[in-house]
Structure 1
Amino acid sequence: MSESHVPPPLPGAPEPPPLPTASDAPAATPSDDLGAPGWDEATAPVADGRCPVCGAALAYGAAEGALVCGSCGYRQEIEHDAHEAVSEHSYEQWLAGNRGYQVASIGGQVLACDGCGARTETKDVAGRCQFCGGNLVAVTNPDGVIAPEGVLPFTVDSRAARDSFRTWVRSRWFAPGALKKVGDTESIRGTYLPHWTFDAQTFTEYAGQRGDHYTERQGDHEVRRTRWSHRSGHVRNSFDDLLVPASTTLPTNRVDALGPWALGAVKPYKPDYLVGHSAVRYDVDPQRGYAEAKERMDAEIRSDVKRAIGGDEQRISHLETRYADVLFKLVLLPIWIATFMYAGKQWQVMVNANTGEVVGERPYSIPKIVAAVVLGLVVAGVVWWLYNKP
């Protein structure tokens, strides 16, 4: 009998699950010790995503704060050792050893399905298996990739996220009437989005002018004038956990609008929190993230300088800021992403899975806008007529 030939997978394409053979070892039982012979670092994380009672896929439950089996209801707590902590790292020390670092040049990592064992190489951190729907979990971490220090777990579950989504959609002004029916059957998925956080102590020297308003009479009128005087000095600022999105997967302005985040609830990173959700790898290098952080710091520093100058108006002619004790870390923040189709176009809405805040796109009804403008003109005309009638 001739052997069948299976062509090798294309580079980066997922490998299908392995075919069973007579020599395959029996599946591990729930009582097996993950540290016992036969379990290595590659297979241990894969086993963690399955229910030890019925074998179904587990998923992190926002309401339970634990891994939950959707089939039999089994619950598995996520335990942390007393010594675990969310650590921050010196940016200057990291930069000294990583000159020329670019995450775009680093290859993908291998994700393995905890159900059928299929493997794929990707730059995502977690996801769903295309063969069986099981959890894809990382079994390798490429050299040079910075590992997350913390994760903010989901506290808003999918049902609450759908409720927030529907409320948001149906409360939009000038939305098409048909949009009110959207929400019950639209797709929604949970994902973790990477963010950099930066701490820094800053010392800023400034020079500028203070403008004080006064009035003087010119004939029958009073005219406002501004008296300018020179000011200089310095301000100190302390920044803690300044957030900068570390992924360009979603629009930065919308991701920023989802805040603020309850960063006090960040947990030391464990892959268990990702089970049942997707997670993307960061594509914004720390250097680029730090440059963005400095721009955000500069906006606050300028506000403080203007307050220090005082007066009714301020002009800043010189700013010089020194940065010290710069620390950074990578954290994963939870987002529900809902999509719906309207008028042949796909629209996207994001829900903060920590606070329930909703941000997104929506269509507008041109007839409703035109009707509102016409009504406004009619009302303005009536008011003008009543005010000016003889």
Structure 2
Amino acid sequence: MNQYPCSSCGANVEFAPGTAVLRCPYCAAETPLVPTGARVREHPYAEFARMPREPVAMLAAYTFTCRGCGAVTHSDKISDRCQFCAAPLVADATAGEMVAPEAVLPFVLDRPAVRSVLSGWAASRWFAPNSLKKVSEAESAHSTYVPHWTYDARTMSWYTGQRGTHYWVTETHTVNGNSQTRRVRKTRWHSVSGTVARDFDDVLVAGTGRLAVRHLVKLEPWPLPQAQPYRPEFLAGHETLRYDVEPEAGLVSAKARMAGVIERDCRARIGGDEQRVTSLRTSHFDITFKLMLLPVWLACYLHAGKTYHVMINGRTGAVAGERPYSVAKIVSMGLAALALIAALVVAVDLYLGGAQD
């Protein structure tokens, strides 16, 4: 377990978002984080797959003994706070049978910045109740490192399909005894086959099922090249979730994301005006992976007796989450649209009536 005492007052220091220092929350003394010279590495997946290990669900929680008050805290989080004195606690994530984090993207947004971001987000929500602006006052927001898997791979794909080319023909038909012609678009299809190759880098998959993946995806893109080699100091003062999605399951999800890109590549290779992909087979080579910790602010707020959850990208400020809708605003907008349509109908009728006169 890691705790970092302040060199000035002895209290436990915390990583300050947007800096490269550990800061004391009491006396504001700062301890610079000296670069270690370590580098972020990718790990061969084939070697990992051959290693015996227990599923994460079978592993015990971490045991923290606070050096400040002596309290013992049990948690399945890599970093947490003492349940009695709130001192930051960081586990030794490199020990044990779990995959150790390889990289961390440190927080940049601090709490005041999160309030500002939430205020802007609330103000931009259409059809939201006016009281939603109070979401910016949510004090429940807490900084959390969320585990993600990244996968690299070389791929080769074999496809078969059809290329559609548009052409036009003139058709003649009779209406009320009058012969009329019109141009009709048709498509000529040709069978095709071929191969496409693509290299993938850092395909991102959430490593936890505790948070809504549909919201986590909306926080993308992440500035992954700015990630730092893992060091526990970055976690001090921030919550860090332990992964519960196994690397094997993550790879399945990563291949699904790759498949969508590969199909688009096939359609581009087929060309023409339209494409049909009837079969697609992909081989993956040189697969590597790593565990990365990404910074997310988690906030919740109460509105009309219901709790809503919001996530904020701790680097870019992107926001995703739940929000209430104002029935009154939606009804008003619907009535306004109906009134506009009615006015247009009347205007058209008056115009046509005048033209006939």
Q: Please state if 1:59 is matched with 2:14.
A: yes
2:107 aligned partner, one-letter code: F
**Contact 2:138–2:300, Cα closer than 8 Å, also in 1:** no
Match of 2:339 in 1: 378
**Contact 1:165–1:338, Cα closer than 8 Å, also in 2:** no
With the length of structure 1 as denominator, give the TM-score of the two structures: 0.85
Match of 2:43 in 1: 89
How far apart are the structure 1 equivalents of 2:68 and 2:216? Answer: 33
Q: Please state if 1:119 is matched with 2:80.
A: no
Q: Please state if 1:301 is matched with 2:236.
A: no
Match of 1:332 in 2: 293
Unmatched 5+ stretches in structure 2: 173-180
2:208 aligned partner, one-letter code: S
Number of matched pairs? 343
Structure with more contact order per residue of length (Cα contacts < 8 Å, sep ≥ 6): 2
Match of 2:205 in 1: 244
Partner SS, residue 141 of structure 2: strand
Q: Please state if 1:357 is matched with 2:318.
A: yes
How far apart are the structure 1 equivalents of 2:299 and 2:59? Answer: 30
Partner SS, residue 229 of structure 1: strand
Q: Please state if 1:229 is matched with 2:190.
A: yes
For residues 175-203 of structure 1, give each alpha carbon's deviation from its aligned partner in whole angstroms, at most 9, with x where no partner exists. 11222233225321100000000000000
Q: Please state if 1:135 is matched with 2:96.
A: no
How far apart are the structure 2 equivalents of 1:108 and 1:331? Answer: 20
Match of 1:172 in 2: 125
**Contact 2:156–2:197, Cα closer than 8 Å, also in 1:** yes
Using a 3 Å threshold, how does the CA distance of structure 1 residues 351 and 95 change in structure 2: closer, same or farther?
same
How far apart are the structure 2 equivalents of 1:294 and 1:350? Answer: 26
* Counterpart among 29, 45, 51 of residue 74 in structure 1: 29
Match of 1:10 in 2: none
Match of 2:176 in 1: none
With the length of structure 2 as denominator, give the TM-score of the two structures: 0.93
**Contact 1:135–1:275, Cα closer than 8 Å, also in 2:** yes
How far apart are the structure 2 equivalents of 1:96 and 1:130? Answer: 39
* 1:279-318 correspondence to structure 2 within 5 Å: 279-318=240-279
For residues 244-268 of structure 1, give each alpha carbon's deviation from its aligned partner in whole angstroms, at most 9, with x where no partner exists. 0001111111101101111111111
How much does 1:344 deviate? 0.5
For residues 194-216 of structure 1, give each alpha carbon's deviation from its aligned partner in whole angstroms, at most 9, with x where no partner exists. 00000000001111100111111
Match of 2:175 in 1: none
How much does 1:127 deviate? 1.1
2:84 aligned partner, one-letter code: F
1:196 aligned partner, one-letter code: W
2:18 aligned partner, one-letter code: A
- Percent identity between matched residues is 41
For residues 284-342 of structure 1, give each alpha carbon's deviation from its aligned partner in whole angstroms, at most 9, with x where no partner exists. 00000000000000000000000000111111112111111100000000011121110
* Counterpart among 207, 211, 221 of residue 160 in structure 2: 207
Q: Please state if 1:268 is matched with 2:229.
A: yes
How much does 1:111 deviate? 2.5
